[in-house]
Structure 1
Amino acid sequence: MSENLGPIHYMMYEKIKFQDKITNYLLDGDTSKVDKINKAVSTDPLEDLIDQENIHGWLDSKIDVVENRLNYALNNSENTKEKLYEFGKINAQGKDFSNFNSVFTDLNMLLLDGMPCDRGLAAQIDNNGDLYLITNNNLHSKYESQTINPEDSKDNVCQGGHNHDHHESFEISNNDNINLNDEKSNYHDYRYAFLKGYFADSPYDVEMINGINFRIFPKN
């Protein structure tokens, strides 16, 4: 259990809320049907909502909510990849593309891959200076086959001590060894569409590698 709210918790809340923005966009603002499955996460201030005695479990349960809702939207929207491409372009407007640190700082607030201690997503720069978004654990696939009950996640805890001011999953690593898992993932196909839109008008291009990873590199 977590005793105090820290910056990481607020960042996670923003990432969680953004997933519902994707759902809303894909469903053209009509979320009446998905609301009956899982009610949207509130956008009120985090400190007014969260269970201070169970911060990790509360956030984990809200991840289940938005993942369930987004999975519904991905399966029930029309022209899904086209919309995700458009939404990527919209969310790239006014962003700083001058360096990869700025790029990842922003992208990491838009991409949700579980809690930081799940280590779902990592970022590394290779010897050529390209940025890799590496999926260590595909935390989305379980939502494709079933609706997860958010109540079941309220007892989840993060094993081991960790700092609530920052976490390595929010930083780019310069480790020379880049290990890329290989997996077929519908979710990451959709993420690819979003990323292509996000980088469409930027100095960078993006390619998918092994079905769940992405290389971001300068355009020729």
Structure 2
Amino acid sequence: MRNTRTLTRRAALGAVSVTAALALAACGGSGDSGDSGSSGDAGSNSSTSASAGTGSTAGAHNAQDVTFAQGMIPHHRQALEVAALAADRASSAQVKDLASRVEKAQDPEIRTMSGWLTAWGEDVPAASGGAAESMPGMDHSAGSGMPGMMDGSDMDMLKKASGADFDTMFLTMMIEHHKGAVDMATTEKSKGTYQPATAMSDAIVTAQTAEITEMNKLLGKG
């Protein structure tokens, strides 16, 4: 009988010990969980800060970036209008090919720059007839003051031309138009702060400078 009571007591003590051990483990686990929670919060804050930093960098732009986009959009639109004329007016396959490349390069850039302006809460230039002075609502930086833009009489002459005459007029006018775009892009590269815009301006300078050389060769000037 005494042995039975002793065994019962030991079993009870063992159960208490196990319970205590489990309680301590639970407390320790709770502390670990708390630490993990703190780490998670820190990680979350770090992630949030990183995201905020990225957004801040991506959204950092200045007045020059706005001027660049608002000016280059109508500038590109006129280039697309001129390039579209080549399909049924040009006699040179090389001129038609160049016009096609201009369309493929500049149309996506117009959409990209329009997206920037919308994101910045700035006005996207309305589509116009192509002539510099027919751009309502634009200031001097994006209107008639834009370098290389063709005026109404230039566009009328080009639309009435065909064959070799069109080729010569197209190349001559597009060279000046490209030079204007290069000037605008060069200004953006030196004064803009929005990285995607300065990267685009760098691409414009490279591509259009090469096309100017190509067009001069087609005119026999290279």
Question: What TM-score do you get using the length of structure 2 for normalisation?
Answer: 0.24
Of structures 1 and 2, the larger Rg is shown by 2
Q: Which has the higher helix share?
A: 2
Q: Which has the higher strand share?
A: 1
Higher relative CO (Cα under 8 Å, sequence separation at least 6) belongs to: 1
Question: What TM-score do you get using the length of structure 1 for normalisation?
Answer: 0.24
